[in-house]
Amino acid sequence: MNRLLALLCLTFLSVAATAADQPNIIFILCDDLGTGDVKCLNPEGKIATPHMDRLAKEGMTFTDAHSGSSVCTPTRYGIMTGRYAWRTKLQSGVLGGLSPRLIEQDRLTVASMLKAQGYSTHCVGKWHLGMDWQRTGEVSALNIETPEQVKNVDYAKPITNGPTSVGFDTYFGISASLDMVPYCFIENDHVQANPTETMKLEMNAAGDKKSFTREGPGSPGFRGEDVLPTLTQHATKLIQEKAAAAKKGEPFFLYLPLNSPHTPILPSQEWQGKSGISLYADFVMQTDDTIGQIMRATEESGIAKDTLIIVTSDNGCSPSADYPKLATFGHNPSAIYRGHKADIFDGGHRVPFIVRWPAKVKADQKSAQLVCLTDFTATAADILHVKLPDNAAEDSFSFLSTLLGESGKTVRQSVIHHSINGSFALREGAWKLELCAGSGGWSDPKPGSPGEQGLPDTQLYNLENDISEKTNLQSEKPDIVSKMTAQLEKIVTDGRSTKGMPQQNAVEVVVRKKSPTAKPKKKAK
């Protein structure tokens, strides 16, 4: 761990909690899994998810949970840091597989915090937060690399500023989404096998659409179908290896960001056709099976009671899942919510969120408490009785009191949403304010499209009466629009949404993005 960061931990963090209050923590992040894909959250869904359903039956399901963004990288930054990613230099879009590290030097992460409290810390899976490859030429810092840039890396050289530089003892996985280069596994600070071949992966195992991922370097023998099983195997083995120490009061943290069911949609041969619906549905079922294997690993190792497992998704389902085809089977990955991945609408950022912790959390509970994935850091700190410094986890609220059934404690009252093009929204109670005319993403009306022309540059919905965001009330409720806009701007300006000393955003944050129908930009710092 960085020396300065370690000193910060020692200075600001309280003494460790007793062993009885230090559960093992497993955070499973599915990739592009829609809230409507999980049967216990969407009874009308047609995909079988028995393991997530069992996890919900044995723990608590949050029905109003949200990712920090409607796309991958920003959400992952929020999970690791407890801070909205739009406070960084990444104001829209996602990183590529070759992008440099996004998490700032010396910023406290949930991994470094847990490590300071005596946890062994491990990451297995898709990172997508940047790492510093040994470059031989230019590589995009805040975008997916161009076809010309994929050769501008010496893959045989060690990687710096990856997961092991932000608090993880070990790392095994892939640098970003499986439709981005390089196509190889990374172990700690080096590729497992030098990507000397040029390859691209089919977007789905049956080749229905005959489309492919970006072409670029890949390790000989690397197959997309093998990634999920390999990550699963590494994760279960790690749990088994750490179980004995965990029983002796040496807890572990496993962050398991899966590559599925994100494109390329490549379920293993044994899973193809199992859903009777589509390859996407097959891939969701295989993802659910991975979760089942993680659950069994804790149970068979005798540590399930004292292990907190969280299962969630980084954003809503992607349109690559083929919504029209799924609809012919009566299935909607977004359930009753409007939009999908990339959008400012709830279908873009409302996610499954299931927690099991047998020692502390009663079984078969549902909570309507508003939560965001940025809340993981504060919750982990709360469990361990750790006081976070003012310059860490600025947008993280603990939901521990909800898990424990306690009342009277401060929990999240509002949440800021962010779409792929950087459009903002604020949710507070039943009200949701959206500072854009359309979706801010990939569904209609798309930004700058003819369908967006002439629409008001602001949207206001009452989710209590209109959960599908159909009736824009902005013209009828100007007082609410004004009040919520001012509140959003204050949260941006303050550099935090939690209590504490104001902090600085990395760059000037544009609250209202430019569009053909937008009013002049409002800026905050």
Residue type, 452: E
Give the total number of structural domains in the chain: 2
Which residues, including other chains, have CB under 8 Å from residue 74's CB and lie 6 or more apart? 68, 84, 85, 86, 90, 94, 418
| Closest to 438 measured CA to CA, from 460, 455, 426, 422 | 455
Q: What is the pLDDT of residues 39-59, one digit of tens each?
A: 999 999 999 999 999 999 999
7-11, 270-274, 426-430: range with lowest mean pLDDT? 7-11
For 370-429, the pLDDT digits (tens) are: 999 999 999 999 999 999 999 999 999 999 999 999 987 778 999 999 999 999 999 999
% of the chain surpassing 90 pLDDT = 91
Question: Does residue 144 share a domain with residue 71?
Answer: yes
What integer is the mean pLDDT of 192-219?
87
Query: For helices 279-300 and 227-247, what crossing angle results, to 10°?
Result: 20
Q: Is 70 part of a structural domain of the chain?
A: yes
* CA dihedral for 287, 288, 290, 294, sign (positive or negative): positive
Q: What pLDDT was estimated at residue 438?
A: 97
Task: Estimate the crossing angle of helix 279-300 against helix 50-57, to 10 degrees.
Answer: 50
Same domain, 288 and 366: yes
Average pLDDT, stretch 502-507?
97
Strands 353-356, 170-174: pairing kind: unpaired
Poorest-pLDDT segment among 7-21, 131-145, 379-393, 490-504: 7-21
Shared domain for 79 and 220, answered yes or no, is: yes
DSSP state string for 111-148: HHHHHHTT-EEEEEEE--S--B--BSS---SSSPPPTT
Give the per-residue pLDDT at 417.
Answer: 98
> Which pair of tokens denotes residue 280?
């996407």
Q: Is 328 found in the same domain as 219?
A: yes
Do residue 486 and residue 390 come from a single domain? Answer: no
Backbone angles phi, psi at 505, to 5 degrees: -75, 155
**Residue-level pLDDT at 346:** 98
Shared domain for 389 and 458, answered yes or no, is: no
Element (H, E) at 27: strand 24-30
Cα–Cα distance, 14 to 11 (Å, whole number): 8
Of 403, 438, 471, the residue that ends a domain is: 403
Whether 83 and 61 have beta carbons less than 8 Å apart is answered as no
pLDDT band at 21 (very low <50, low <70, confident <90, very high): confident
Length of the chain (residues): 525
Q: Which of 351, 371, 403 is the last residue of a domain?
A: 403
Per the omega criterion (within 30 degrees of 0), is the bond before 445 cis? yes
Q: Which domain holds residue 486?
A: 421-524
In a domain, 410, yes or no: no
Per residue in 127-145, pLDDT (tens digit) is 999 999 999 999 999 999 9
Band (17; pLDDT cuts 50, 70, 90)? very low
CA distances from 388 to 19, 138, 437 (A): 20, 37, 38
Unique residue bearing structure tokens 């309280």: 14
Say if residue 71 is in the same domain as residue 192: yes
Average pLDDT over residues 98-122: 98
Q: Are residues 200 and 243 in the same domain?
A: yes
Same-domain status, 389 and 432: no
Residue 175 has pLDDT above 90, yes or no: yes
Q: Cβ contacts of residue 363 below 8 Å, gap of 6+?
A: 57, 58, 59
Residue 198, strand partner residues: 217
- Does 481 map to a domain? yes
Give the end of a domain, one of 403, 436, 453.
403
| DSSP-based three-state secondary structure for 522 | coil
* Per-residue pLDDT band at 209 (split at 50, 70, 90): low
414: in domain? no
Nearest to 154 by CA among 192, 183, 195: 195
Give domain status of residue 409, yes or no: no
Is residue 43 domain-resident?
A: yes
Do 217 and 330 belong together in one domain? yes
Residue 101 has pLDDT above 50, yes or no: yes
Kindly report the CATH number assigned to the domain that includes residue 269.
Answer: 3.40.720.10
How far is the C-alpha of 151 from the C-alpha of 160, rounded, in Å? 18
The reply to whether 399 and 434 lie within a common domain is: no
Q: Are residues 308 and 450 in the same domain?
A: no
pLDDT per position as a tens digit, 88-99: 999 999 999 999
Identify the pLDDT of residue 16: 43
pLDDT, mean of residues 188-210 = 86
> Please, are residues 164 and 136 in contact by the beta-carbon 8 Å criterion?
no
How does the average pLDDT of the chain come out, rounded? 93
Examine residue 415 and state whether it is found in any structural domain, yes or no: no
In this predicted structure, the answer to whether residue 61 has a pLDDT above a threshold of 50 is: yes
State the CATH number of the domain containing residue 511.
3.30.1120.10
CB atoms within 10 A of CB 79: 28
Tell me, what's the pLDDT at 409? 77
Residue 374 falls inside a structural domain: yes
Tens digits of residue pLDDT in 318-373: 999 999 999 999 999 999 999 999 999 999 999 999 999 999 999 999 999 999 99
